[in-house]
Amino acid sequence: MRRVMLLTLLSLVLPTAALANFVPMTWDTGPIITMPTQRGSISRGIAGGLVSPLGTYIRGTMNQITLRDIVFSGGNSGPCGSPSGTCTFSSGTILVQNATVTQTFFMGNLEDGMIVKSPGGTIITAEIVPNPVTAPLGGFVHFVAVFNTTAPISESLLPGSRGVAAVVPEPTTLCLLGTSVIGLAGMVRRRLKLGR
């Protein structure tokens, strides 16, 4: 019986311990920097679609977020290779730096990504893969890239482009933490009762 209680206690304590030293982090590029030069680009094909593997970055007034090595599930011949459509990707990388690109805040991997493409822009969303060192609980990225719709095709991004990345506890993790605390409280109470 004691072994069962010890294992139960351990299963409740470990998630709490994992969160003990974790500080949620959020980075916003801020409005795209337009002076003195355009600060942002995205890999585009001659037809106006996106090119796989995709590379894109937005340097704003606050931070720069770079996404790399994004390979579309349908390849270049799929929806994302054309001016509009929705496609998915299963891997990629993210790099977060300050606006002057002199300091790196975060590096990680992406999964479960989606790209919603229109002739004048695209929205990229993905989950950040949990990493025991930099992102123990994972996170997400939301990336809005705005570009021109007229020829010649340009890779430069326009004002309105913006990116947000966050490494934060997900609702399921918070629920698990709450369960851990309740379980610990119950065990302490029972122990105190038995001690009397």
Supply the pTM of this predicted model: 0.75
Amino acid letter at 86?
T
| pLDDT at site 175 | 45
- Average pLDDT (44-65) is 92
Integer angstrom CA distances of residue 50 from 13, 39, 40, 111, 143: 46, 18, 15, 18, 14
Radius of gyration of the chain measured on its C-alpha atoms? 22
Other C-beta atoms lying within 10 Å of the C-beta of residue 106? 20
| Pairing mode of beta strands 139-146, 121-128 | antiparallel
Share of the chain above pLDDT 90, in %: 48
Question: Residue 196 pLDDT more than 50?
Answer: yes
What residue ranges do the domains of the chain occupy? Answer: 23-168
Which residues pair with residue 85 across a beta bridge? 117
| pLDDT at site 92 | 96
Other C-beta atoms lying within 10 Å of the C-beta of residue 13? 13
- Average pLDDT (129-141) is 87
For residue range 86-115, list pLDDT tens digits in order. Answer: 999 999 999 999 999 999 999 999 999 999
Question: Residue 174 pLDDT more than 50?
Answer: no
Question: Residue 185 pLDDT more than 80?
Answer: no
